[in-house]
Amino acid sequence: MIKQFLQSLEDPKKPLFGPNFWLLKKLGYILPENPLGKYIYIILHEIVAFFVLTQYMELYIIRSNLNLVLTNLQISMLSVVCVVKSNTFLFWQKSWRELIDYITTADCFERTSNDPNRRNILNKYTRYCRQMTFNYWGLLVITFITTSGTPLMQFLSSATYREKLRNGTELFPHIFSSWMPFDKYHSPGCWITVAWHLPLCAYGALTMSAYDSSIMVIMVFFGGKLDLLRERCKKMLGTDGVPISDDEAAVNIQELHQTHVDIMKYSRLFNSMLSPVMFLYIVLCSLMLCATAYQLTSDTNAAQKLLLAEYLLFGIAQLSIFCWHSNDVLVKYQNVMMGPYESQWWAASVTQRKSVLMLVGQLRISKVFTAGPFTNLTLSTFLAILKGAYSYYTLLRN
């Protein structure tokens, strides 16, 4: 049943981005043309932004309790990132649409080729995108179930806790720590709060599923496009030692030059929208990982430890996905320049060799995705964040 559902998300018009586009559209990231539907989605996104504000209002109220503050910060910092992701996507709606249209057009163009090597690259990165997307969605489903079910697990795992809850010495457990305009620890306010938190928790999981998996697919696309460009460079001057005319070579080299220019243009566009979000995420992620690790080692409740362990795993996995794929694109930018040297340039005419040198100069230009103006999204940055989070953790422990 799940397999049939996932297969139904495939879109022949978007062979690479189909499932991701479907989820973006369902969540209102890609706004509908209908004005009423557009305004409804915008209002829903801003309701969630208001909820994040209530989390920080609650944080001020509980500021004297370190354990409650850390619990609140784990979720509220992630909530801020979710709101920033959704609102920046809406704010740069036109640019995101332009980027998705380019990805679709460029990907469909490559799929018209009958070259076995290029077809193999296409099939490989398409299959990889599907596996990563669906596995990431599965991870978010587990995170949602764990987060929303923590109060229930806490209730069921400890008879002492249940007794304290009945005699009033323990407060009613909630999914999120947020301010409410009524008593949220006693009926009916406690159940109204639960009904309010559940859809918001689902929204957060869906937001990260749609945004993060789309970012991952776009990064993989740029890496795959660079691999295809290198493969095309190998054959731009003919194959099997058979040279081609200067006119044919000029057309091939001009097309390859334009392809690289387009990749650079849309890489920069993509980075301009991603970089501010990643800067905020990296700053908050360092603090979030530190707070989670601190609570994991100091908490005694088994259910709470399970949640914290899953939450820590999710935070590390999410960060590693961005840094790994960004680093992979950077490496492929550096490798694409080898394409012309792997062609049969030795059999080309002097005119063709001059054109090849100009193409090599163009291919030397590369682009690295960044997190704000301060750091690049690479594996070294990922390791630096983990070291920084551990440093904050040891500071708290001491």
Contacts of range 52-61, beta carbons closer than 8 Å, 24 or more positions apart: 52/76, 52/79, 52/80, 52/82, 52/83, 54/178, 54/179, 54/180, 55/79, 55/176, 55/177, 55/178, 55/179, 57/178, 57/179, 58/177, 58/178, 58/179, 59/177, 61/179
Q: What is the pLDDT of residue 396?
A: 61
Confidence check: pLDDT of 300 > 60 = no
CB 292, CB 308: distance < 8 Å: yes
Interval 344-376: pLDDT, tens? 888 888 888 888 889 989 999 888 899 888 888
pTM: 0.90
State how far the Cα of 130 lies from the Cα of 136, in Å rounded to an integer.
10
State how far the Cα of 364 lies from the Cα of 337, in Å rounded to an integer.
6
Phi, psi at 375, each rounded to 5°: -150, 160
- What's the chain's average pLDDT? 85
Interval 53-87: pLDDT, tens? 998 898 888 888 777 777 777 778 888 888 999 99
Confidence check: pLDDT of 200 > 80 = yes
* Arithmetic mean of pLDDT, 20-30: 92
State how far the Cα of 307 lies from the Cα of 148, in Å rounded to an integer.
10
Interval 111-163: pLDDT, tens? 988 889 999 999 999 999 999 999 889 888 888 887 787 777 777 776 777 77
Of the pLDDT bands very low, low, confident and very high (cuts 50, 70, 90), residue 51 is: very high
Q: Which of 13, 177, 237 is CA-nearest to residue 108?
A: 13
Of 263 and 381, the one with more pLDDT: 263
State how far the Cα of 321 lies from the Cα of 162, in Å rounded to an integer.
40
* Arithmetic mean of pLDDT, 18-30: 92
Q: Which of 249, 254, 224, 225 is CA-nearest to residue 237?
A: 249
In whole angstroms, how large is the CA radius of gyration of the chain? 25
